[in-house]
Amino acid sequence: MQSFNQKHHKKFKKLFKVKEKPRKWDKLYLEKTYKYIKYISWIPWLKMVWIWNSIAMNCSTKESDIDLLIVTDNNRLWLVRILVTLIFQVLWVRKNDKYHAGRFCLSFFTTIDWLNFKSWKIKNDIYLYFWILYFKPILDYDNTYKKFIKINSTWADFSEYKDMIKENKKYIKYKK
């Protein structure tokens, strides 16, 4: 079972410039995410939308994009991906070659059956471990976030970071 203590966490935060509290751009991009997620929240096969990377770690800048990780029902990934991409394109908020900052990066989709990230980890993978802990769920249908933490707890011991997981749940705005 993989586990990293507070000493490792401190090292991770220093390496990736993680801040304790959201700053100006983190707050601005989080609010923008809440605003635009409502346009896709109706999609029936959507299970979860996380914000991740720099915004989730409170270290975004004016030049940052908004990274989303989207979870769908099985056998609906491509349909949801097409719908989300089309909607964000029509709303003119999707990242492209010319416009990057403050736009949505839709590069990470998975299905409900592929929530276990164990196959991605490398030996002593501090990045994947803390990356999971910093995910901020924005939309959580059918308790997908709880399922995600539970399934990844089979290979990673997150018990030392229960408060972080509890805090992340406060970001959920869309739930059913």
Q: Where are the domains of the chain?
A: 6-60+73-175
Q: Residue 128: how many CB atoms within 10 A of its CB? A: 16
Residue range 151-164, pLDDT digits in tens: 999 999 999 999 99
88 closest CA partner among 67, 71, 73:
67
Residue range 42-80, pLDDT digits in tens: 999 999 999 999 999 999 999 999 999 999 999 999 999
- Continuous segment of H or E residues that includes residue 8: helix 6-16
